[in-house]
Amino acid sequence: MNELSHILIRAQKDIYRYLSGSNLSNFLGHGYDFAELVEYNIGDDIRDISWINSAKRGEIYVKKMHEEKDLSIVVVAMMEGRMMVGDKLETLLQTTASIGYLANHQNELFSGAYTMDKSALALMPPSKSKEAMEHYIKELYNQQPLGESIEYQQVITQLMERLPQKALVCIIGDFLDDIDLSSLAYKHDVVALLIRDRAEENPQYQSNAQLIDPSTNQASSKILTPRAIKHYQKKLQEHDDKLFEHFGTHRIRYTKIFSTDEIIEKLSKVFA
Partner 1 sequence: MSLLYPIALILLPLAGCFIYCKNKPKEIYFSKLDWLPKSYLKFDRDRMVIIAIFIALILTLATPYLYSSYENHHKKGRDLVLALDTSGSMAQSGFDSEDKFKSKYDIAVELTQSFVQKRLDDNLALVIFGSYAYIASPLTYDLSGLGEMLHLMSSVGIAGDSTAIGEALFQSIQALKNSPTQNKVIVLLSDGVHNAGSISPKDAVEIAKKQGIKIYTIGIGEGYDKEMMKLIAKNSKGKSFDAKNSKDLKTVFEQIDRLEPSPLRSKGGLNAEKLHIYPLIVAILLLGYLVFREIVVQRAES
Query: Helices 88-105 and 263-271, interaxial angle, to 10°?
Result: 50
Q: Which residues contact 39 (CB under 8 A, 6 or more apart)?
A: 59, 60, 61, 62
Rounded CA-CA distance 54/30 in Å is 19
CA dihedral for 126, 131, 135, 141, sign (positive or negative): positive
Residue in 9, 19, 52, 209 binding partner 1, rule: CB under 8 A = 209
CB 173 within 8 A of CB 77: yes
- Contacts of 205-209 with C-beta under 8 Å, sequence gap 24+, read 205/229
Q: Which residues 169-198 are close enough to bind partner 1 by CB under 8 A?
A: 174, 176, 197
Taking the least distance from each CB to partner 1, the nearer of 79 and 99 is 79
Q: Does 204 bind partner 1 (CB under 8 A)?
A: yes
Among residues 19, 220, 242, 251, the one that binds partner 1 under rule CB under 8 A: 220
Scan residues 235-254 and list those touching partner 1 (CB under 8 A): 235-236, 239
Q: Is 41 in the site for partner 1 (CB under 8 A)?
A: no
For position 165 contacting partner 1 by CB under 8 A, the verdict is no
Q: Are the C-beta atoms of residues 174 and 88 closer than 8 Å to each other? A: yes
What would the x/- binding string for partner 1 be over residues 72 to 111, using CB under 8 A? ----------x-xx--------------------------
Binding residues (CB under 8 A) for partner 1: these are 82, 84-85, 174, 176, 197, 200, 203-214, 219-228, 231-232, 235-236, 239
